């Protein structure tokens, strides 16, 4: 049997091992936040924002940010239907309702033209999720938000390395949230980051992140409000410090992988892959192919073809409105039609050209058979 090709693996070097070992050995007592502080400082410098708070997950960053914006029971948050549950879950934690609108055919991100029809007096935010490294149309979303007095939030869990009109993804909205899950371009194993340029919002989230204890409170163990426990550990942050030192290398490699796939698959007419509109940079977290409709090549056929060749392939996100427990009655034909003919391709940093050629050959062979 041919060697297995995995769809994702982290890039860990001696630098990460050295920093994590130091944190595990020495990062206690008065040094227990040393790597966390370093990671936050390095990340906000890279992103070009004023404030950053390391968290245990992107989900936690979204939860606290929305809570600080006052999202609560009976409110609504608008987002694209094609997304992972982690984008919608924090909305439900706060007793609010996620409202799903259709996505664009090319970027698979939220369609701005569909938003105003679902805005109501209950709408508290628009959540822009940068899917697979693809960028939302932030100019259009910000105009809608400004017109209706609704903040635009960036879920940049999959957007590290992506740049929109000269600004890094996650740095543009009211606040941004990032993921450092083991599958991401930059990883801390598990983890996330809340970022913003809004000083008042930062202070509120900082208080929430510390069990409701406000900075400057003189009473020890005195919470000023009910908060959360979404802290990142010092050892995780040590990994993050090493990764952020390598971020240009890590994102460059991701873009090289996407470019290689695109060149190798040019022979399939009508095949869609992660787009890169003018004045943007696609961080290329997860190279994805959407098969042309007229080929009638299904997700199941793609999975079977890759399995036969001992290659991992990840399925495209299901429409969130299709999940029964979210009780959504949205009708979104683009979101409904995408997952049945799409697949995510292996893209870990150390993947070889030979392995990518194996992936490409599977797709070419499948299309030629039709």
Pick from 226, 245, 264: which residue ends a domain? 245
Per-residue model confidence (pLDDT) at position 1:
78
Task: Answer yes or no: is 228 within a domain.
Answer: yes
State whether 241 and 255 are in the same domain. Answer: no
Same domain membership, residue 25 and residue 151? yes
Q: What is the CATH number of the domain that holds 322?
A: 3.90.1150.10
Residue 129: which CATH number?
A: 3.40.640.10
Length of the chain: 370
Q: Among 245, 276, 297, which residue terminates a domain? A: 245
Burial 45-64 (b: 16+ CB within 10 A, else e): ebbebebbbbbbbbbbbbbb
Taking the C-alpha atoms of residue 360 and residue 260, their distance in angstroms, rounded to an integer, is: 10
Cα dihedral 161, 166, 172, 177 in deg (nearest 10): 10
Torsion angle of the four alpha carbons 264, 265, 269, 272, in this order, in degrees rounded to the nearest 10: -140
Cβ 7 vs Cβ 312: under 8 Å: yes
Residues 143, 205 within the same domain: yes
Is the domain of 334 the same as that of 261? yes
Q: Distance between CA 111 and CA 143 in Å, rounded? A: 13
* 166 and 26 within one domain: yes
Query: Which residues partner with 167 through β-bridges?
Result: 164
Residues 26 and 124 in one domain: yes
Q: What is the pLDDT of residue 133?
A: 98
Q: 3-class DSSP state for residue 128?
A: strand
- 35 lies in the same domain as 123: yes
Q: Is residue 8 part of a domain?
A: no
118 neighbors 91 (Cβ within 8 angstroms): no
- For residue 295, what pLDDT is reported? 83
Would 9 be classed as within a structural domain? no
Element housing 112 (H / E): none
Residue ending a domain, choose from 225, 245, 265: 245
Residues 142 and 227 in one domain: yes
- Examine the domain organization and report whether 68 and 144 are in the same domain: yes
Q: Is residue 23 located within the same domain as residue 138?
A: yes
For residue 5, tell me if it sits in a domain.
Answer: no
Q: How many CB atoms lie within 10 A of CB 1?
A: 5
- What is the predicted pLDDT for the residue at 370? 59
Burial 160-192 (b: 16+ CB within 10 A, else e): bbbbbeeebbbbbbbbbbbbbbebbbbbbbbbb
User: Structural domain of residue 237, as residue ranges?
Assistant: 14-101+109-245
Count of domains observed in the chain = 2
Digits of tens for pLDDT over the chain (370 positions)?
789 999 999 999 999 999 999 999 999 999 999 999 999 999 999 999 999 999 999 999 999 999 999 999 999 999 999 999 999 999 999 999 999 999 999 999 999 999 999 999 999 999 999 999 999 999 999 999 999 999 999 999 999 999 999 999 999 999 999 999 999 999 999 999 999 999 999 999 999 999 999 998 899 999 999 999 999 999 999 999 999 999 999 999 999 999 999 999 998 999 999 999 999 999 999 999 999 988 889 999 999 999 999 999 899 999 999 999 999 988 999 999 999 999 999 999 999 999 999 999 999 999 877 5
Check whether residue 240 and residue 254 sit in a common domain. Answer: no
Q: Same domain, yes or no, for 240 and 261?
A: no
Structural domain includes residue 312: yes
């Amino acid at each position: 049997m041919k060697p297995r090709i995995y769809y994702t693996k982290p890039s860990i070097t001696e630098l990460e091992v050295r920093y994590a070992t130091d944190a595990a050995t020495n990062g206690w007592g008065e040094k227990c936040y040393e790597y966390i502080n370093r990671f936050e400082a390095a990340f906000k410098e890279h992103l070009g924002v004023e404030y950053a708070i390391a968290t245990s997950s992107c989900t936690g960053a979204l939860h606290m940010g929305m809570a600080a914006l006052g999202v609560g029971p009976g409110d609504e948050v608008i987002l694209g239907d094609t997304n992972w549950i982690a984008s919608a879950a924090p909305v439900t934690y706060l007793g609010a309702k996620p409202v799903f609108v259709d996505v664009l055919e090319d970027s698979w991100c939220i369609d701005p033209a569909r938003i105003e029809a679902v805005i109501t007096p209950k709408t508290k935010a628009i959540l822009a999720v940068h899917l697979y490294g693809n960028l939302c149309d932030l100019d259009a979303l910000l105009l809608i938000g400004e017109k209706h007095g609704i903040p635009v939030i960036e879920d940049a869990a999959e957007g590290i390395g992506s740049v929109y009109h000269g600004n890094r993804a996650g740095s543009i909205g009211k606040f941004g949230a990032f993921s450092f899950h083991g599958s991401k371009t930059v990883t801390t194993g598990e983890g996330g980051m809340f970022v913003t340029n809004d000083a008042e919002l930062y202070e509120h989230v900082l208080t929430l992140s510390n069990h409701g204890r406000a900075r400057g409170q003189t009473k020890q163990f005195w919470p000023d409000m009910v908060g959360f426990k979404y802290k990142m550990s010092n050892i995780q942050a040590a990994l993050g410090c090493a990764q952020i030192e390598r971020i240009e290398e890590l994102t460059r490699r991701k873009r090289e992988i996407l470019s290689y796939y695109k060149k190798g698959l040019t022979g399939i007419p009508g095949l869609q892959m992660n787009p890169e509109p003018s004045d943007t940079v696609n961080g290329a977290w997860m190279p994805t192919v959407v098969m042309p409709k007229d080929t009638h090549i299904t997700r199941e056929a793609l999975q079977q073809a890759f399995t036969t060749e001992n290659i991992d392939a990840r399925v495209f996100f299901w429409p969130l409105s299709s999940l029964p427990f979210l009780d959504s009655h949205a009708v979104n034909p683009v979101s409904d039609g995408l997952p049945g003919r799409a697949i995510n391709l292996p893209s870990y940093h150390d993947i070889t050209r030979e392995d990518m050629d194996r992936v490409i050959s599977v797709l070419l062979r499948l299309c030629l058979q039709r």
